[in-house]
Amino acid sequence: MPGNIYNVYCDESRVDNPDSRRMVIGALIIPRDQKQRIEKDIKQIYTRHRFTYELKWTKVNHMYQELYGDLIRYFLSANSISFRCIVVDKSRFNLEKFHDGDPELAFYKFYYLMLRPKLFAGSKYYMLLDKKPTSNRNRTGALHRFLQMYASHMTDCTIRHFQAYDSQDNVLIQLADFFTGLVGYDVNEGIQDSVKGEVAQLMKKTFDRPSFMMSSTLREEKLNIFVWEPRSCQE
């Protein structure tokens, strides 16, 4: 059924930034048959604000503050779009004991933890990741295999497509970047007197969230945030 086929657009924030204590990995999820309509809606918002650039959180500025507000309100009103992310305190996981001393391996494990709960029986997935340089070219393939292994234990659940793309060519990866970066900004710097702070505050107010450092329940679909906590043996 078309309603059980999904596109998943992924991005990350603050992973390699040594000045940021917490990193965020996020995914924008839409029904595959709604892709063209949602892309058209977003491009219309871009056109209304005369925005002709790539949407990236790192480039948020006062010139397009109304655009950012419209994107947040569109996300709220679009029942077919959901967003999930994982927030990880980089100082709290034990690289040597659990990740072979490899921060890149740890990153992809957290990627897996973020995506796994969004896999359901009777569903098909097309996953599009933002391109990220890796020291091991097999990382993305390994993530795909482990997710597919998990999916194989459910009835009629499969990942049909799993590939990294350049966000410059995909407005939905850009939107994933925007929301992932917004959460990443807020859980690190907090709200400050800046455009980014105001946009993050608007997002929290719109979704009645006092903080992005509070995990959602798994039942919450629209804006689902998982704040990772290590087991006691990892602290």
**Which CATH number is 186's domain given?**
3.30.420.10
Distance separating alpha carbons of residues 159 and 123, to the nearest angstrom: 9
For 172-188, the pLDDT digits (tens) are: 999 999 999 999 999 99
CB contact at 8 A, 12 and 179:
no
pTM of model > 0.85: yes
Interatomic CA distance for residues 55 and 60, integer angstroms: 8
pLDDT at position 143 over 90 = yes
Per-residue model confidence as pLDDT tens digits over 99-142: 555 778 888 999 999 999 999 999 999 999 988 766 567 788 99
At 157, is the secondary structure helix, strand, or coil? coil
* Residue 148: domain span: 2-234
Strands 82-89 vs 223-227: parallel, antiparallel or unpaired:
parallel
Q: Are 86 and 116 in contact, with CB atoms under 8 Å apart?
A: no
- Is the predicted pLDDT of residue 200 greater than 50, yes or no? yes
| Residue closest to 183 by CA, chosen among 133, 227, 132 | 227
Answer whether 26's CB lies under 8 Å from 11's CB: yes
Alpha helix (H) ranges present in the chain? 35-48, 65-77, 95-98, 103-115, 139-151, 171-189, 195-206
Token pair for residue 93?
Answer: 């996981």
Tell me the sheet residues that pair with 5. Answer: 124
What digits encode the pLDDT tens for the residues 80-107? 999 999 999 988 876 555 555 577 888 8
Residue 2: the pLDDT is 44
End-to-end CA distance of the chain: 44
Q: Which two tokens stand for residue 147?
A: 């997710």
Nearby residues of 180 by Cβ (< 8 Å), 6 or more positions away: 11, 12, 13, 24, 25, 26, 57, 85
Structurally, the chain folds into a number of domains equal to: 1
pLDDT tens for 7-48 read: 999 999 999 888 899 999 999 999 999 999 999 999 999 999
